Amino acid sequence: MILRRDIFQALADPTRRTILVLLASQTITAGAIAGHFEGARSTISKHIAILTECGLVEAKEQGREIYYALKMEKMAEVDLWMNELRQIWEQRFDRLEQYLDKIQNQQK
Amino acid sequence: MILRRDIFQALADPTRRTILVLLASQTITAGAIAGHFEGARSTISKHIAILTECGLVEAKEQGREIYYALKMEKMAEVDLWMNELRQIWEQRFDRLEQYLDKIQNQQK
């Protein structure tokens, strides 16, 4: 089962990551996005749909065109998870340090 | 095609992310990892293999047991990509600000 709304699943594909980098610099149409890639336009449309579904990209109607914009604030979910992991990792070494301090003090 | 050695592909699965959080706090055996999950041990073994292949986890032999350790430094690849994205995003607004400043100065 592919969790389409999972942001990590969305980031797992290198083409989708490239689309996000593209959209970081500018808000453009699906056609303009597809212009940066070789291969079928329908494949790129699917990637854009996945990015939109999980909230990393937003479709904005402007006249007769639809523009796609990066929703940078959604990337905060990745930061949150990374920070949680880092915190657990650092606490572990804090505990180790405290333990070593305690042993050292007992030996004094 | 699944890029097994792609760290983002490794992070795409919620069970693998939970394994990484587990290993952030301690270095444990595959059996101990599997003990935290319901379902087949072989499924967990496959997840551990993917995490090891992409370098996020390291197998360490200790006596007759194999312990799995998080390689936190490998997570830096995610930071790198996130920082690249953020930089492109911020430069865009810097450019916009410079443009608005220029217009404002011209109107003075």
Structure confidence by residue, pLDDT tens digits, A3-49: 557 899 999 999 999 999 999 999 999 999 999 999 899 999 999 99
- List the single residue in A9, A14, A72 with the smallest CB-CB distance to B89: A72
Token reading at B62: 């200790």
List residues of A whose CB lies inside 8 A of any B CB. Answer: 3, 6, 8-9, 11-14, 17, 20-21, 24-26, 70, 72, 75, 78-79, 81-82, 84-86, 88-89, 91-92
- List the single residue in A11, A84, A88 with the smallest CB-CB distance to B8: A11
Question: Which of B81, B83, B89, B92 to mutate against chain A (most A CBs within 10 Å)?
Answer: B89
Residues of B in contact with A14 (CB under 8 A): 3, 6, 8
ipTM: 0.82
What pTM does this model have?
Answer: 0.84
Higher pLDDT, A93 or A65: A65
The topology (CATH level 3) of A1-70 is Arc Repressor Mutant, subunit A (1.10.10)
State the pLDDT at residue A4: 54
State the pLDDT at residue A106: 85
Burial A38-68 (b: 16+ CB within 10 A, else e): eeeeeebeebbebbeebebbeeeeeeeeebb
State the pLDDT at residue A1: 43
State the pLDDT at residue B1: 43
What is the pairing mode between strands A57-62 and B65-70?
unpaired
Confidence band (pLDDT; 50, 70, 90) for A100? confident
Residue B61 has pLDDT above 60, yes or no: yes
Q: Which residues on neighbouring strands pair with residue A65, listed in sequence order?
A: A62
Confidence band (pLDDT; 50, 70, 90) for B4? low
Average pLDDT, chain A: 91
Structure confidence by residue, pLDDT tens digits, A28-37: 999 999 999 9
Structure confidence by residue, pLDDT tens digits, B73-105: 999 999 999 999 999 999 988 888 888 888 888
Residues of A in contact with B26 (CB under 8 A): 92
What percentage of chain A exceeds 70 in pLDDT?
96
